[in-house]
Amino acid sequence: MPRWLGRVALVCAGLIGGLAGGEVLARLFAPAFQIVFRETITASDDPALGYALRPGALDGRDRISAEGLRDREYARPKPPGTFRIAAIGDSITYGSGVRRAGSWSEQLEALLDERGEAGGVAVEIVNLGVPGYNIEQVVARLRGSGLAFEPDAVVYGYALNDPQAFSIEAAALSTLRAAYDRQASGLARRWLAHSRLYLLGRHVAFERSKQAVLRSEPPRDPAYEEAGRGDPVAYFRSIHSGGEGAARLARGLDALAEVARARDLPVLVVLFPLFSDGDADWGAALADVHALVARGARERGFAVLDLLPVYEAAVPAAGAGIGVDFMHPNRVGHRIAALALLDWMCAKRWLPAAATDCARPAQNAGDAQLARLVHRVLAAAPD
């Protein structure tokens, strides 16, 4: 046999051996091939959710927990002497636009911890928020994974787009999945799809190109589209007052009531308003929508805290803007919400007596001023 032919055979054998070894390693150690959006969002096996937070993913300088929360790790089963609150909602509860420590749930937990009694009941607030979830997904997440944390109460951070079917996250994943499937078309690629090594290589290549895919087919949120045109008020009123949006709202509240009854859980619905844009007071213009949601919540036995009058009074006192955009509070906005929740919980005796010394003053002057203002507003508000 010619010497060159032996060399070719040796190279081919090495190549085949290398590919076979790579295939074995890929089958043993390669992760599941899931399409990821914004690093933190990935498809979910639960059809009621569609997508979920990706455990271990970096979110800026924070990290998604092993349980898929934008939060720390929690002991399960729940330790004795612990009162645990499930914070549910969408991107507002998640804390989009602020660090994890800046979200209302983390700030409220810190305020409660400051007022905690030595040897008393510890209060933990588990953040179950996921950007883009509508009300039905919010409740499905509570039922599917939130109840495993054994909550004693539920606080729902309600955003005015919660009856909306559309979410940027779901739309982006759908676009990426369609592009991924298009790349897999063809007989040769379908045959190669049996190889884990090929799938790993294709996945890596796709991850590098997905931003270009999204730039060419950008998902468009109707709420932000209407805000960009200068007036989203009619849109938000429409998704609450009729059609599929109103039906989704009713189904979601009914589902939450079912979970609350089955687990004997008190539920507080916290209404977050839109934040004003320049001279346009979008929040006040939707006071009727706040009243509609509050009525539906109370009819199902939930308590309600409407933050609209709180924010209207607190903005001048805060001395700074309170929104990242027209829907999401910034750290100051989350702080105001946390102070309002603390005041409400103390006034309504919603927490175990051994958990919080409600008479203990705030530790800094800025909080003290805001806390007094928030208290006056809530004391004057109808139940």
How many angstroms separate the first and last alpha carbons of the chain? 95
Q: Are 157 and 146 in contact (CB under 8 A)?
A: no
For 73, 160, 188, the CA distances from 170, given in Å and listed in that order, are 26, 18, 30
Q: How far apart are CA 265 and CA 262, in angstroms?
A: 8
Q: How far apart are CA 189 and CA 202, in angstroms?
A: 10
Residue 41 confidence class, pLDDT cut points 50, 70, 90: confident
**Same-domain pairing of 101 and 154:** yes
Position 323 in a domain: yes
According to DSSP, residue 342 is labeled H
Residue range 294-346, pLDDT digits in tens? 999 999 999 999 999 999 998 877 666 888 999 999 999 999 999 999 999 99
CB atoms within 10 A of CB 176: 21
CATH code of residue 102: 3.40.50.1110
Do 162 and 269 meet the contact criterion of CB atoms below 8 Å apart? no
Beta strand pairing call for 267-271 and 303-306: parallel
Instruction: Say yes or no: 260 and 333 in one domain.
Output: yes
pLDDT given at position 58: 87
Residues 118 and 210 in one domain: no
DSSP 150-208: --SEEEEEE-TTTT-S--HHHHHHHHHHHHHHHHT-SHHHHHHTT-HHHHHHHHHHHHH
Among 190, 220, 250, residue at a domain's last position: 220
Question: Residue 103 falls within a domain, yes or no?
Answer: yes
**Is 373 a residue whose pLDDT tops 80?**
yes
325 and 197, same structural domain? Answer: no
Three-state DSSP class for residue 58 = strand
Residue holding tokens 């006040």?
Answer: 284
Domain that holds residue 76: 65-165+223-380
Query: Same domain for 141 and 201?
Result: no
Number of domains in the chain: 2
| 14 in a structural domain | no
